[in-house]
Every structure is written in C-alpha cells, then in structure tokens.
Amino acid sequence: MRGTLDIEGRNSGGDMIVIYCFQVSPATFKTFTDFPLSSRTLRGLEECDYEEPTDIQRESLPFSLSGSDVVGAAKTGSGKTLALIIPVLESLWSSGWSNYCGLGALIISPTRELALQTFTVMNNVGKYHEFSCALLIGGTDVDYERNRLGRVNIIICTPGRLLQHMDENEHLLCDQLQILVLDEADRMLDLGFSQQVNAIIANLPRERQTLLFSATQTRNVKDLSRVCTKDPVFVSVHERCAHATPDCLVQSYMVCEEQDKVNTMWSFIVNHKKFKTLMFVSSCKQARFLTGAFCHLRPGLPVMGLWGTMNQKKRVDVFQKFENKEAAVMIATDVASRGLDFSDVDWVVQVDCPASVEDYIHRVGRTARMNQKGHAVLILTPSQEEAMILALSRANIPIEKQIADPRAIVDIQAKMQATLSQFPELNQNAQKSVVAYLRSVYMMRNKKVFDVASVDAGALAASYGLVIVPRVRFLSKKGISVKVECLALLADESDDILVVKKKDVFNSLSAVDEQASGQENYYALFLQSFSIHFIYVIFVFLL
C-alpha cells in the first residue's frame, strides 16, 4: 500500500503544515509519533502519557486527519475521546487558526459529565496550542457565557445549551466552522435530542468536516450520519472482535427477588471495601434514597450518588470526588453509563436490569477500560432471567451465572426501618423510590423482560424500610392502597404518589417536601398561591 505526502507551507506559528492522503495499513501506526501530528499535539500527548494508539484511534485518525467525514463505532473504554480531540486540534492548527478567527470546532456530547470530561482532556492534550476552548452545559450562568463566545475557537457542549445560545446569542457565529463532532451519538438520540441535533446542524455551514462516534451503530445513528455527513468513512472496530464487550471484562449475573436487592447491595458493599464500585439503579429517586440511607448506615467507605436531577455544581463535585477515591461506592442512574471515564473502577453492579442490550454494554463499559481488568455483575429477578440472558447471548456477550452464598447476605431491613423512623425526609424519599421503580418497570417497552405484575410491591416497600406500601395510581387496579390518617397530594413530575402527613395539612402544606428541587419547588409554590378554601376542598375530596 502506498501513501502520498503533501507539504503546504507553514502556519502563523512557524510550524510546518502537513496533510497526508492515507492509503496505508492502520498497523503502520504503532505510536502517535507515526502520525503526522504537530509538535504541540505530540508534546501534550506525551505529557499525558499517551504513547500507543488504541484500535479506534489507529483506524480512524488516518481518515479524520486527512479531512474525511468519519462515522466510528467501538467498544466502551476504547479511546474514542482522544480519537475526536486529536483531529479537532490538528484541523485548526493546519488551517492556521487563531484566537481572532472565531468558532472553528464544535463538540457535542449527550451529558454534562461527558462534556466536562472531554473539556478536561482537551485542555490537557491541547495545552500547547493557542486555541481558546469553552464548556457550555446546563446549570451554569448563561449571561456569563453570552459575551465571551465571540472569542472562542472550540466549544464543547450539550445540545440544549448550545441551541439556546444559537437562538438567543448574537455573539455566537458558526459560519466559519471547520469541524463538527458528535460524541456518543447513540446516547444523544436515546435521550431525545434528535430534534435539537437536527436544528443545530441546520444552522451550521455545509462545507465542514464531521466526525460521529458511538459505542453502538443503531438505525437512528445511521439515519443521523446520512443527514450530517458527506461520503463518510465507516470505522467499526468491534465488528472484528469475538465479543461485544472488552475481553478483559469478567461478566456474571445472579438471580434474586426484588425485595432482596437492597440486602444484596449492602452485602456487596461491606464485602468490597477496598474496591471502587459503580452501582446502577433505574431512577433518580432510587439513587437519591439509597445513597442517603447507606450513608446513614455507615458501611465503612464513602458512598456517593449521581443522578440526572442533581444540580450541576453537585454533580461535578461528586464526579470529581469519586474520580479521586481509591475505594468508594457510587449509586447512579444511566447518566453515568455513557462515555464517562472514571479511573480504575473495579466493579460495575447493575442492581436494576438495563432497558436494552445497548444500555448493558454502556454500563459495564465503565470498568475494564483501556485494557485494564474489570468485573461486572448483573442482578436479575426470576421473571427477567430467561429473556435477558437470551438477548445478551444473541449480542455475543459472554456472561456466567453465579449463585450467592445465603450466609454472606446481611438482612438490613430492621436497620432501614429504624433509620426511616429517625429521618422523616428519608422516609418520603423511600416512598418516592418505590413508586419510581414501579413506574420504570411499567414504562419499559420490552415486556418479555419487564413485567410490573410480577413485582411484589409490599415486599419491595418493606425492603426499603417502609411499613406501608405507597399508593400508586397506575397500579390501583392491582389492589395496592395506603391506609392513612389524612393525605396531601404531592405534586411530582414523575411520581404519582400520595404521601402521609401527620401534622395539620392546612398549616403545613408548604412543608411538603421542602428539600425538593426544580419542578417540585415550582409545584409547591403553585399550591401555596391558592386560597385556604380551595385546599380544604382538595382535602375533603381525598378523604
């Protein structure tokens, strides 16, 4: 195979601008010095201890560095972040881009945490370039960002915040954009960003380079690639692999009833105090409650939580604290399952079954990254086992069944009840968690795996430390009810739950869930604006 080399001169910094027209085998590139990279990028890579490229980097960089559109797919933890950052830096450098040239590169990520992580890697690898880089994510000050975007060369962002600036900010000009990167495109579409991404693309110049990366190549990703790329090169590393997950990942599953999951979680935590463990649950309310409950029970190592409705500052703090710990537990929702590169995660425990095989792959991808060994445990209920294991086997995912030793499982139900009686707010969170989990099972599309009728709601509530089962409207036909003294309707955007209030409803309505945030606070203020007579009508109606 032959390759041609064209030298086009020097940029404003005096460095030689080189463009390769690659027609060589990817095996040729054994180290990053084998690629035609600028001395500034190579210096940044060296200081970050990046020496040998991974498969996705080795196979995609020859095309992306030559200016081609690339649609790349590779296993989680395979180095896709660096595969998109290097072409961005080299594209702007080879064009002689400076601070006065405006926006030249746009990197869009599905979550704030992934955008923050990409921003950090960009600053480390690109520290010797003279480009300005901005991070645009929700939960930050829009006004602070507005007047500074006119001087930014690289923007790393989430779709919603970028589209907001496109609509409202006259300082954000995209007419000179050189390169667009869509990171974790499959997750972006799964989260419902399809319309936002299409609106963003419509505002960008057609003459640009586009890189689209994901861990899975779904039909939606292929449709998106047809819209935003021109004659792309498809690079799919995992198609040649024996398995869809990393070879250094040890995968197993165990079967237990819903009501035994909390005991299993606790037992696993106290028996793995020297490891870094990431545990996945279905809903934000579960993550919030279990994190709080386990912190009160003091397992002997830090317990943290990460979920989507957490405010931005708190999410960043938790992310960084977990990253810096050698041994800790994080209880998280799928907000932590895509693209985030936590250092040295030893175990991934999926407490609740993932919605799909793709979600399973992304969850377990938080460990065994960059050829390091990792372990993944999937917890299934008896009704989920057959269908889910069949789906995993069809996806070429090797997983073995493990049977837990009953003597190693610690029953903490009494401790949970005592903790909830001591902390009323935690009691409310437990009720919300039960309802949120039942709703998540009810809303799942794959009814072969998820059957809400198979869930023993009473036993589940008891395992959370609750004495009574919260009333759930969409399950009322199944005979689930709550015996109460008096009821106050808790307005919640995702849970349909009636909460027991022992104090006078009329004088303490504002005390309902004072710790709630976002939409919950809005509803609380809305309810307070009504007259005492209207509240009385609601109270009588509920009785």
CB 308 within 8 A of CB 494: no
Q: What was the pLDDT predicted at 25?
A: 63
Nearest-angstrom CA–CA distance, 74 and 404: 33
Query: Do 223 and 267 share a domain, yes or no?
Result: no
Q: Which residues pair with 136 in a beta bridge?
A: 157
| Residue ending a domain, choose from 222, 240, 258 | 240
Half-sphere exposure of 85 (CA within 13 A, CB side): 25
Query: Do 234 and 268 share a domain, yes or no?
Result: no
In a domain, 364, yes or no: yes
Q: Which alpha helices (H) appear in 51-141, and where do they start and end?
A: 55-64, 80-94, 112-125
Q: Which two tokens stand for residue 203?
A: 């505002």
Q: What percent of the chain has pLDDT over 90?
A: 55
Confidence check: pLDDT of 69 > 80: yes
Query: Which pLDDT band, with edges at 50, 70 and 90, does 478 fall under?
Result: low
Confidence check: pLDDT of 286 > 90: yes
Confidence check: pLDDT of 13 > 60: no
Q: What percent of the chain has pLDDT over 70?
A: 80
pLDDT digits (tens, 9 = 90+) for 182-217: 998 887 887 788 899 999 999 999 999 999 998 777
Query: Do 231 and 253 share a domain, yes or no?
Result: no
Decide which of 322 and 99 is more confident: 322
Q: Which two tokens stand for residue 425?
A: 């707010």
Q: Which residues pair with 254 in a beta bridge?
A: 379
Query: Which pLDDT band, with edges at 50, 70 and 90, does 37 fall under?
Result: very high
Question: Based on C-alpha coordinates, what's the Rg of the chain?
Answer: 26
Distances (CA, A) of 453 to 235, 259, 442: 43, 14, 9
CB 251 within 8 A of CB 373: no
Element (H, E) at 526: helix 519-528
Q: What was the pLDDT predicted at 505?
A: 32
Q: What's the whole-number mean pLDDT along residues 522-527?
A: 36
Query: Which pLDDT band, with edges at 50, 70 and 90, does 295 fall under?
Result: very high
Query: Do 63 and 103 share a domain, yes or no?
Result: yes
Query: Which pLDDT band, with edges at 50, 70 and 90, does 241 fall under?
Result: low
Token pair 């209920």 is found at 381
Q: What was the pLDDT predicted at 141?
A: 82
pLDDT digits (tens, 9 = 90+) for 351-408: 999 999 989 988 998 898 777 899 999 999 999 999 999 999 998 899 999 998 888 9
- Domain carrying residue 527: 484-543
Tally the domains of the chain: 3
In a domain, 16, yes or no: no
CATH code for the domain in which residue 111 is found:
3.40.50.300
- SS3 state of residue 74: coil
Q: Which amino acid is at 427?
A: N
Query: Which pLDDT band, with edges at 50, 70 and 90, does 527 fall under?
Result: very low
CB 125 within 8 A of CB 106: no
Q: Which residues pair with 330 in a beta bridge?
A: 278, 304
Q: Which residues pair with 17 in a beta bridge?
A: 9
Return the number of other C-beta atoms located less than 10 Å from residue 343's C-beta.
Answer: 12
Range from 337-351, 367-381, 514-528 carrying the lowest mean pLDDT: 514-528
Q: What's the whole-number mean pLDDT along residues 79-104?
A: 94
Range from 76-80, 421-425, 456-460 carrying the lowest mean pLDDT: 76-80
Nearest-angstrom CA–CA distance, 408 and 371: 31
- SS (HEC) of 473-520: HHHHHHCCCCCCCCEEECCCCCCCEEEECCCCCCCCHHHCCCCCCCHH
Decide which of 7 and 31 is more confident: 31
Q: What was the pLDDT predicted at 272?
A: 96
Decide which of 503 and 409 is more confident: 409
Confidence check: pLDDT of 270 > 60: yes
Query: Which pLDDT band, with edges at 50, 70 and 90, does 513 fall under?
Result: very low
Query: Do 343 and 312 share a domain, yes or no?
Result: yes
| Residue ending a domain, choose from 189, 205, 240 | 240
Q: What was the pLDDT predicted at 482?
A: 33
CB 123 within 8 A of CB 145: no
Confidence check: pLDDT of 480 > 80: no
* Dihedral class, residue 93 (left if φ above 0, else alpha if ψ from -120 to 50, else beta): alpha
Q: What was the pLDDT predicted at 476?
A: 66
Query: Do 401 and 526 share a domain, yes or no?
Result: no
Among candidate residues 83, 161, 146, the one with its CA nearest the CA of residue 118 = 83
- Could you give the strand order of the β-sheet that contains 374-380, starting from the edge strand earlier in sequence? 303-306, 328-332, 276-280, 347-350, 374-380, 249-255, 400-401
Q: Which alpha helices (H) appear in 171-272, and where do they start and end?
A: 185-190, 194-202, 219-228, 261-270
320 secondary structure, DSSP code: H
Half-sphere exposure of 367 (CA within 13 A, CB side): 23
CB 107 within 8 A of CB 157: yes
Q: What is the mean pLDDT of the chain?
A: 82
| Residue ending a domain, choose from 408, 423, 456 | 408
Query: Which pLDDT band, with edges at 50, 70 and 90, does 242 fall under?
Result: low
Decide which of 128 and 505 is more confident: 128
Confidence check: pLDDT of 338 > 90: no
Token pair 């790393």 is found at 156
CB 419 within 8 A of CB 293: yes
Query: Which pLDDT band, with edges at 50, 70 and 90, does 508 fall under?
Result: very low
In a domain, 461, yes or no: no
Q: Which two tokens stand for residue 439?
A: 């709703």
In a domain, 463, yes or no: no
